[in-house]
Amino acid sequence: MKTIAVLGTLDSKGAEHAFVADLIRAHGHTPLLIDVGTGAEPTVKPDVTRHEVAAAAGLDLEAVIARKDRGEAVTAMSQAAPKLLSMLHARGEIDGIISLGGGGGTAIATAAMRALPIGFPKLMVSTLAAGNTAHYLGTSDITMMPSIADVAGLNRLSLTIFTRAAGAICGMVSADIPESGAKPLIVASMFGNTTACVTEAKRILEESGYEVLIFAATGAGGKSMEAVIESGMAVGVLDITTTEWADELCGGILNAGPTRMDAAAKAGIPVVIVPGCLDMVNFGERSSVPAKYEGRSFYIHNPQVTLMRTTPGECAELGRIIAGKANACAGRCEILIPKKAISVISAEGQPFHDPAADAALFGAIRQSAEVPVTELDFEINNPSFAIVCVERLLHLLQ
């Protein structure tokens, strides 16, 4: 028997959550009804009251309610609910979570779900599930189910949706996860322009007894990789494709935020860093490139993706950023530089070949880095460079 948290605003949506709780019980599991409402009194009796939720974060709930500011109340519960759920999970008291909601309920519940680790069953039935859910999902593995109609009462449509949702969360908590052989996990970053390198490195690492999880350096991919590292699942990092920092610096569309590359430092695990694809900034179709960049060197990757070559000045700043991130690593760290090309299109004869920009990048890394820096006379996708990357990471892992 599993315990499933049923979290919701029980003042306005008590009947709906109670219905789901009853279905969970009928499936042989134990529901834990948690109230995060801040309006009228709950219409059903919760197992965990709103005051207990607020207390988990040291919030004065009565003061918040007295101000009658719905935005403030939703924000307060969005801060408190994650702390409560984290405590329940740490104590082994819940095995899954489900919630039903509109805008406010979705904001509170998904904040709580994002505090739970990857792999923990999470299901959000929401009026917002058909739109842009990036803000609600973050880097978590929350399953979003469209409520179709508003979460407002029990009717022929909602009864169907809620019943399927209850069955889904019960199935999720009951599912047996196949063992992967418990091999130590390496995470790696990859882009189209570094695929050959990362693919070869993955092959060698797997032959050496590791499992390799590859993330596309697309902004969201980099954030997800950071989340996996933070979860403690990985023993090492092969960060071959640090291109998201070029987008972060220059306003490209594939940036992963200023904390990209921080997780490995905090985790204290070995990491090999390569300035892969720092020659390019990603924009959408050609007309989407900001006017301030007119006159720059561009490469049309496809009709929807326009790449912009980084300048020597930008590359120097990127070199300082990469070195700074490496310097912060608590574990062992090395930087490897493929001097002949940091992407397919920066090689000699290719559109983004720019020796001055590369020299500025490599020079800034050498000057700023406090970790070992090795320059190699290879293009990034040369199999020999992949071999060196793996050898250095395996050495750091020993």
CATH number for 351: 3.40.50.12030
Q: Is residue 61 assigned to a domain?
A: yes
- Pair 144, 231 in one domain: no
Q: Residue 181: pLDDT band by 50, 70, 90 thresholds?
A: low
Q: Does position 276 have pLDDT exceeding 90, yes or no?
A: yes
The pLDDT-based confidence of 331 (bands split at 50, 70, 90) is confident
Q: What are phi and psi of 32, to 5 degrees?
A: -120, 100
The Cα–Cα gap between 247 and 231 comes to 25
Q: In the 8-state DSSP scheme, what is residue 340?
A: T
179 belongs to a structural domain: no
- What average pLDDT does the segment 378-388 reach? 98
Compute the average pLDDT of residues 342-368. Answer: 98
Q: How many CA atoms lie within 13 A of 207 on its CB side?
A: 9
Identify the pLDDT of residue 180: 60
Task: Express each pLDDT in 25-71 by its tens digit.
Answer: 999 999 999 999 999 999 999 999 999 999 999 999 988 888 989 89
Domain end (from 143, 174, 205)? 174
Render the burial of 112-136: b for 16+ CB within 10 Å, e for the rest: bbbbbbeebbbbbbbbbbeeebeeb
Mark whether 252 and 361 lie in a shared domain: yes
- Joined together, the tokens standing for residue 398 give 């020993």
Q: What pLDDT sits at residue 185?
A: 96
Q: Is residue 180 part of a domain?
A: no
Q: Are residues 33 and 167 in the same domain?
A: yes
Residue 147 maps to a domain: yes
Q: Residue 231: what pLDDT? A: 86
Residue 330 has pLDDT above 90, yes or no: no
205 and 153 in a common domain: no
Q: What is the pLDDT of residue 367?
A: 98
96 CA to centre of own chain:
20
Percent of the chain with pLDDT over 90: 89
Same domain, 70 and 193: no
Range of the domain at 376: 185-397
Distance, CA of 82 to CA of 92 (rounded, Å): 15
Nearest CA to 350 among 246, 265, 277? 277
What pLDDT is stored for residue 202 in this prediction?
97
Kindly state the tokens that stand for 252: 């490209």
pLDDT above 70: residue 199: yes
Mean pLDDT of the chain: 95
- CATH of residue 73's domain is 3.40.50.12020
Q: What's the rounded mean pLDDT across residues 374-381?
A: 98
Q: Are residues 347 and 211 in the same domain?
A: yes
- pLDDT category of residue 178 using cuts at 50, 70 and 90: confident
Residues 70 and 44 sit within 8 Å (Cβ to Cβ): no
**Domain shared by 170 and 189, yes or no:** no
Q: What are phi and psi of 262, to 5 degrees?
A: -85, -30
Are residues 273 and 367 located together in one domain of the fold? Answer: yes
Per-residue pLDDT tens for 213-272?
999 999 999 999 999 998 888 999 999 999 999 999 999 999 999 999 999 999 999 999
CA of residue 336 relative to chain centroid, distance:
25
Domain closes at, from 121, 146, 174: 174
Kindly state whether residues 190 and 83 are assigned to the same domain.
no
Pair (310, 387) in one structural domain: yes
Q: Within a domain: residue 241? A: yes
Bridge partners, residue 385, by sequence: none
**pLDDT band for position 393 (50/70/90)?**
very high
In this structure, are 156 and 49 located in the same domain? yes
Asked if residue 338 is part of any domain, the answer here is yes
The tally of domains found in the chain comes to: 2
Q: Sign (positive/negative) of CA torsion 315, 320, 321, 326?
A: positive
Q: What is the pLDDT of residue 74?
A: 92
Give the dihedral of Cα atoms 361, 362, 364, 365; nearest 10 deg: 120
Using CB atoms within 10 Å of the CB of residue 386, give its burial: 0 to 12 exposed, 13 to 18 middle, 19+ buried: buried
Task: Please tell me whether residue 7 adopts helix, strand or coil conformation.
Answer: strand
Question: What pLDDT score does 279 carry?
Answer: 98
**Co-location of 64 and 192 in the same domain:** no
Lowest pLDDT segment from 134-138, 244-248, 276-280, 287-291: 134-138
Map residue 288 onto helix, strand or coil.
Answer: helix
Q: How far apart are CA 343 and CA 320, in angstroms?
A: 19
Phi-psi region of 182 (alpha: psi -120 to 50; beta: other; left: phi over 0): left
CA–CA separation, 66 and 106 (whole Å): 23
